Every structure is written in structure tokens, then in C-alpha cells.
Structure 1
Amino acid sequence: MQRLSVPLQWVLLLAASLTLGVILQLFHVPAALLLGPMIVGVIMGLSGATLRIHKHFFVIAQAILGCMIAQSLSPSILTPLLQDWPIVLAVLLMTLAASAFSGFLLVRFSDMPGATGAWGSSPGGASAMVVMAADYGADVRLVAFMQYLRVLFVATAAAVVARIGLGDAAQQATSPVWFPALHGGFAATLGVMLVGAWLGQRFRIPAGALLVPALIGATFHSSGTLTLQVPEWLLALAYALIGWSVGLRFTRPIFQLALRTLPQMLLSILGLMLLCAGMAWMLTRVLKVDLLTAYLATSPGGLDTVAIIAAGSKVDMAFVMAMQTLRLFTILFTGPAIARFISRFARAT
């Protein structure tokens, strides 16, 4: 793959991603336009492709998702969280405990440094965890590999669960209009997207490129001040950029570096996914949410990938994003303490 010129690699990436994405859509796989580019990116990355998605394009893609999410958010989403706060708090604490336990076991039974295992196992936004890990002395390469490996597993598993659980209903009932007539709402959306992304980056807000446009857009959209318009072609572009950003990170050198601890990583990821799935099932027993909504709300994947799958699966998007956002900020506050604990006590004496 390295022998191919960069333009030829781009042609191959675009053609293969489009082909696989269309095939997955024909089989009604949720988030097909994310999974297709992500899978192709992984294959090309491990084959030695030299392509990389610039950070600015990744930020813009997250901002587009933020505007899409904003259309589903309103102040009313706080009502179920406040009414059932003991249950929400219990699920949140159990998720943190599960991730800490997963990181503890990973460090105990592998050669991985404590801080690296702790941050790699944290179920928050992948990009935010990588940045935090760098500030606390962890091996950023291994943290990124673990985080995006889990994103890959979670995205695939969530899409499969959505397909099995909802059948053909997992796909939108009507075919989307790919190129609708644009109106003033599209210009407003671009403004919210650019301003929100800039603010999120300027003030170094974790996952700010997604969360700030979502909050600004929701404020204007729910109040009727602005009507946001996020056309399907723009969403598809954002899905592809995020899929490529994740997939192309799986380079051969990083894979070889992680090879010694790969079995333990996989067990850690699968164990955490199973624990979160168990909590999702318990959530359905005490709250009026369906299993897929609960699964995505507790799923240990990145905010952006979970949002894409939720948007294509007819679940309660507001509840999913509220739970995921709450968990992200809780991990950002507790992550350093958990990393120190694992670094100190996880090593066998």
C-alpha cells in the first residue's frame, strides 16, 4: 500500500468506502456510512496506507454531528434524569467501577504501564481520553489504540444489536432525501457549527467540537429562534470523516507495539462491553426505555460514534446523549485519581 501514490490511495479509500457503505445499507445495517469507511480505513491502515485525516476535518465532522444532535435535544431531556437521579447515578457509578476494574485487571495481567491501562480502559470520548492521557504521562500510542479498538468493537456491536433488535425497522421507514433544497436554516447551521467548533477548541472543552454546537444549536432550535437544516449529504460526509479518522489510526507499527498485550486488551474490551450491556438490561427494568436506547446510553464507545448509531436506529437520542455526556464529564473529573490508584496498586508484588 505504501508504494501507491497518495492520490491513488485516496481513490481506493473513497471507492472502497462507498462500495462497502452501500452494501451495508442494502442489508439495513444502522450507521452503514460510518462502519463502511471505518472498516476500509482499518484495512488500509494495517496495510501501510500513508493517508491521514487532518485534525481540522475531524473537528468539523464532530461539529456537524453536534448540529444533528441539536435537533433532538430540548430542556425536557433533563426531566427523566432528575426524576430518576438515584438510578442514573447508580448506573454511572457502576460504569466507572467497571472501567476501573477492567483497567486494573489489564495492568495486573499484562506488561502495560498503570496509567496507560487506566486511560485506555476509560469509557469516555476517545479523543478526550487520548488528550488527558498525554497530560498524565501515559503512552499515548497505546491509549489511542485501545480507545479506537474499543470504538470499533462498540460501533460494530451496536449496529448488529440494532439490526437484530429492530429488524427492517432499524432502517428509516422512508428513503432520505440526499440533496434537499437548502434554505436559511442551512446557513444558520453552518454558523452554529463553525462557532461552536471554534469555542470548543478555543476553551479546550472535552469533546467540545461536538458538545458545544449541540448545546448552542439545541438552544436556538428548541426555542424556535432558528431552524437547523443538516442535509443527508453533509451527514454522510461527517460519518465518512469520522470513520476514516478512527480506521486509519490502526497502523502497522502501532499494531506491532500493542501485539504483546492484544489478547488482554481484547478481553478487557469485551468484558467492559458485557458489563455495560448488563447494566443496560437492568436500566430497562426500572426505567421506561427500550433495550437499544439503554444499550447505547451505557455503551462504552465514543460520543460521536454512539450518536451516529443512535440517529439511525430510532432510539431516544436525547436520553442517550444525556447519559453519555454525563459519563464523559464524570470520567474527566475522576480519571486522574483512578489512574493513580491503578498505577499504584495494580502491579503484582
Structure 2
Amino acid sequence: MQAKKWLLLTVMTVAATAALWRMHLPAALLIGPMLAGIVLALCGGDIALPRAPYILAQTVVGAFISRAATPDLLPSFLSRWPLFLAVVLATIAASGLLGWLLYRRYVMPETTGIWGTSPGGATAMVVMAEANGADARLVAFMQYSRVICVALAASLVAHFWQGRGGSVWLDVVWFPAPQWPSLLPLIGLFVLGALVGFGTRVPSGAMLAPMAVGGALHLSGVAIAEVPAWLLAATYAAIGWRIGLGFTRRVALHAARSLPAILGSIVALMSFCGVLAWVIVRLAGVDALTAYLATCPGGMDTVAIIAATSPVDLSFVMTLQTVRFFLVTFLAPPMARFLASRAERHSHGGSGGNPF
């Protein structure tokens, strides 16, 4: 019986992912499995992804993220580091405030709203949120709602700015020929992540360890860990199933009821980042499209594709996006704990406490 349910989940996943892929929807490889898992869970499917595949999936995500630390990142950052840091910290502060308000207004439980509004890599935030005690299902709902909104907005802005359509989709080689210079570092990072994930209690250590080591190797030009498309698809499927299969009717209804507030927080953060883009134009002398894409809150891979097909300063865009991602990754856990404790004290101070 369990085998039939896993087979059904696989068929639903392939169908949903293929449909979203043909629509060129951002994060289709993760949203498809997540939707399939949600449908099966809400229809009574009582299966769950074991911990081991989920830990291994985190190691692949960490290795994949490490590719963002390109050798030209450091020179680009050092040339304008005060501006980059100011913009990134302002964005993190704004997202933290929005998450805190979602908790204070009883829209999201505990630190879930803070993780959900964090402007980092959506997959990384979901993994870290679960490791730090937040509701990964609602975090995923918030994060990928923003990814879609940001991708659509950025695509439209780039389209009208250029006067022509800039594709946000690239052809993918699913089974490339093995390249040992990039495959060996990937295997090493995979082993490192597995050792940390299974052998320690470090929250999301299976992702953070290969991300840090792989980022250092790539930044120094020593090696780059290329993740094959088929392995990335399997990884996203595992993470999507982990999230989707954990949904219940109560969680789904709560997500639906919270959608207006979530969309409001997304619009507020995108608007704030638009103001930051205007500041960058005035202070750094870059064009408006470069500044806008550099400050887009989330969806770094999608922004990279849009920027690569647009007449912008790609180095500037990716430097700011990458610096923000790594800072959010390391600052999100202490920030979530701090803001949640502040909100909890306010709740006990007279508003009756959080109902979750």
C-alpha cells in the first residue's frame, strides 16, 4: 500500500513539475513536488519522507549555493562595500520588521513569519527554518509566493525597460558528461555535509558546512562544485515532498486565510527595495534597471537569469544579491530568536498571547 502511494506521488510530481516547467514558472522543480505532496497529504496519504534523504538533499543544496561565491565577488564588493552593506542590512531589517509584525498580528506563529519574509534563497530559508523550530510548511508558502511575485515583477520591468522580451528560462542539459574537476569537489562536499548532518546537532549543518567550504573553494578559484541538473531535480523533489507531505487541512486553511497579509508583506518589501534601488542610482551612478535587479528581494537564481539577458551591470547585480544571501543565511537565526522574544514579551505584556 505504501509503495502504491509513493508511486502515485511520483507520477503526480512529474505531471505537476512538467506543467509548471512548460509555463516557465520560477522554482518549478521544487513547487511541483511540493504541490503533489500537499494534494496527497490532504487526500489522506499517510506517508512521509525519511530523515536520511532529507539530510542528503540539504548537502546538495549547500554545494549548489556555494557556486554563488564567484572569484570576482570580492573585488566587486570591496569597491563599494559601504553601500552594499548599508543596502543589505536595511533590507534585512525591513524584512525582519515585517516578519515581527506578522507574528504580533497573529498572522504567523512564533518565528515562522520572520523566516518567511527573510530575503535570502527560498530553499535555504525553508531548510534552516525547520532546523530552527519554525513551521517549514508556512515558511515555504511565504517564500515561494514572494519568489513568484519578484520573478514576475522583475521580468516585466526588464521587458518594458528593454522594449523586448528577455527570457527568464534557459535550456537545461539534464545528463551532462561527467567532469571530474567539478565532480570530485561535489563528492567531497557531499561527504562533508553528510558527516555534519548525521553526526552533529548543528541546525541545518548539512547545508551550511558544504556551503561555507564550497564557497571558500570557489571564491579562491581553487575548485567549483557543479551540481548536475538531474541531481538538483531529485534534491528539490525530496525537499518539496518533505514540505508538502507535512501539510494538514488546518495548515492549508491557515495559509489561505493568511494570503492577503502575506501578499501585503511581499508588496511592502518589494516597494522598500524599490526605494533602495532609487538610492543606489543616486549614490552609485548605476542605471535604474541594474539597481532594481540588484535589490530584488529573493529569487537570486531567477534574477541572475534575467540580469544575464538584460543590458545591466551583471557583476553589480550578483555581488549585492550574493552578499545579501550569505548575510541573511548567517544572521537569520539570531535575528529570528531576538525578534520572537521581543514579540513574546509584548504579548505577555497585555494583548493576551499568541493563539498558535
TM-score range, shorter chain: 0.7 to 0.9
Q: How many angstroms apart in 2 are the aligned matches of 1:222 and 1:117?
A: 36
Question: Is residue 221 of structure 2 the alignment partner of residue 228 of structure 1?
Answer: no
Asked whether the equivalents of residues 53 and 244 of structure 1 are also in contact (C-alpha less than 8 Å), the reply is yes
TM-score between the two structures when normalised by the length of structure 2:
0.75
Matches within 5 A, 1:12-51: 12-51=8-47
Q: How many angstroms apart in 1 are the aligned matches of 2:66 and 2:325?
A: 15
Matches within 5 A, 1:64-213: 64-82=60-78, 83-86=80-83, 88-104=85-101, 106-108=103-105, 110=106, 116-122=109-115, 123-124=117-118, 125-133=125-133, 143-161=135-153, 164=156, 165=158, 169-172=167-170, 175-184=171-180, 185-199=182-196, 202=199, 204-213=201-210
Q: Given the superposition, is the C-alpha separation of residues 91 and 79 from structure 1 closer, same or farther in structure 2, using an over 3 Å criterion?
A: same
Matches within 5 A, 1:297-316: 298-299=297-298, 306=299, 309=302
Asked whether the equivalents of residues 180 and 231 of structure 1 are also in contact (C-alpha less than 8 Å), the reply is yes
Moved more, 155-164 or 245-254: 155-164
State the Cα deviation string for residues 287-325 of structure 1 (Å, max 9, x = none).
654534532xx33xxxxxx46656765665554343122
Q: Structure 1 stretches of 5 or more lacking a match?
A: 134-139, 300-305
Aligned equivalent of 1:277, options 270, 274, 277: 270
Asked whether the equivalents of residues 69 and 215 of structure 2 are also in contact (C-alpha less than 8 Å), the reply is yes
Q: 1:338 — aligned with what?
A: 339
Asked whether the equivalents of residues 30 and 312 of structure 1 are also in contact (C-alpha less than 8 Å), the reply is no
State the Cα deviation string for residues 182-227 of structure 1 (Å, max 9, x = none).
2423243122222134336655444433332123223334545445
Residue 271 of structure 1, CA deviation: 2.7
Q: How many angstroms apart in 2 are the aligned matches of 1:308 and 1:90?
A: 19
TM-score between the two structures when normalised by the length of structure 1:
0.76
Q: How many angstroms apart in 2 are the aligned matches of 1:240 and 1:329?
A: 25
Asked whether the equivalents of residues 16 and 40 of structure 1 are also in contact (C-alpha less than 8 Å), the reply is yes
Q: Given the superposition, is the C-alpha separation of residues 130 and 240 from structure 1 closer, same or farther in structure 2, using an over 3 Å criterion?
A: closer
Q: How many residues align?
A: 319
Q: Given the superposition, is the C-alpha separation of residues 203 and 325 from structure 1 closer, same or farther in structure 2, using an over 3 Å criterion?
A: farther
Question: Is residue 329 of structure 2 the alignment partner of residue 320 of structure 1?
Answer: no
Q: How many angstroms apart in 1 are the aligned matches of 2:154 and 2:239?
A: 20
Q: How many angstroms apart in 1 are the aligned matches of 2:236 and 2:327?
A: 23
Asked whether the equivalents of residues 33 and 240 of structure 1 are also in contact (C-alpha less than 8 Å), the reply is yes
Instruction: Report the identity percentage.
Output: 25
Q: 1:8 — aligned with what?
A: 4
Q: Given the superposition, is the C-alpha separation of residues 278 and 208 from structure 1 closer, same or farther in structure 2, using an over 3 Å criterion?
A: farther
Q: 1:30 aligns to what SS in structure 2? A: coil
Residue 32 of structure 1, CA deviation: 2.1
State the Cα deviation string for residues 93-127 of structure 1 (Å, max 9, x = none).
4533443354345434x497xxx434443344234
Asked whether the equivalents of residues 99 and 121 of structure 1 are also in contact (C-alpha less than 8 Å), the reply is yes
Asked whether the equivalents of residues 100 and 113 of structure 2 are also in contact (C-alpha less than 8 Å), the reply is yes
Q: How many angstroms apart in 1 are the aligned matches of 2:101 and 2:201?
A: 29
Tell me the amino acid that sits aligned with residue 32 of structure 1.
A
Asked whether the equivalents of residues 48 and 252 of structure 1 are also in contact (C-alpha less than 8 Å), the reply is no
Q: 1:170 aligns to what SS in structure 2? A: coil
Q: 2:121 — aligned with what?
A: none
Tell me the amino acid that sits aligned with residue 110 of structure 2.
G
